[in-house]
Amino acid sequence: MLIGLVFLACVATVPLAGGRLAALSELRFRASGLLVAAILAQVLIVSIFPQGSATFHNAVHIATYVAVAVFVVRNRRIPWVWLVALGGALNFTAIAANGGVMPASPRALQNAGFALDPAGFTNSGAVSHPHLQFLGDVFWVPNSFPISNVFSVGDLLILVGALLAMHCICASRLALRRFAVPAV
């Protein structure tokens, strides 16, 4: 929820910087069904059906990242999608190295007000003997804030990439075009 709200705040910065939000509606994505399916699958395993086979949940979680990777490759010409992809790749690396769960720092979980050992599947949680912990959810918004959460450096790159992409696509005064699309 936190990342979604930050994303909406990023969208709000576009008109404030003189950008045209309508340009986002003109953007044509390739393989958008993969992205929608991946998001739905994550919602299902995390929020609707968290109980069940840990192996199945972990496999689905990893598969959602593979589906999103295909979506990103198919849309690589969109400005700054490479930065979004880098953030996703860092998250995927941490998740795959830990058997399908994003390793969250126990300190981050506690400070955000989350249980260290929740019942059912969680996409981010304390992992015994975590691999690549520094790529995991090591940052937090404290539980004293209305919306607390844990997040990773990959999440930050995804949001910065989305922010830069929106400003380039919408031609705002903040658009950074120099590194928007890697040379072919």
Range of the domain at 138: 2-169
Whether 71 is in a domain gets the answer yes
User: What is the value of pTM for the model shown?
Assistant: 0.86
| Ramachandran category for residue 18: left, alpha or beta (phi over 0 → left; psi -120 to 50 → alpha) | left
Count of structural domains, the chain: 1
- Condensed to tens digits (0 to 9), the pLDDT of residues 91-141 reads 999 999 998 889 999 999 999 998 877 666 777 888 889 999 999 999 999
Which is it for strands 102-103 and 124-125: parallel, antiparallel or unpaired? parallel
State the chain's mean pLDDT as an integer. 90
Whether 108 is in a domain gets the answer yes
Whether 177 is in a domain gets the answer no
Whether 100 is in a domain gets the answer yes
Residue 178, exposed/middle/buried by CB under 10 A (0-12, 13-18, 19+)?
A: exposed
- Condensed to tens digits (0 to 9), the pLDDT of residues 63-92 reads 998 999 999 999 999 999 999 999 999 999
Q: How far apart are CA 43 and CA 40, in angstroms?
A: 5
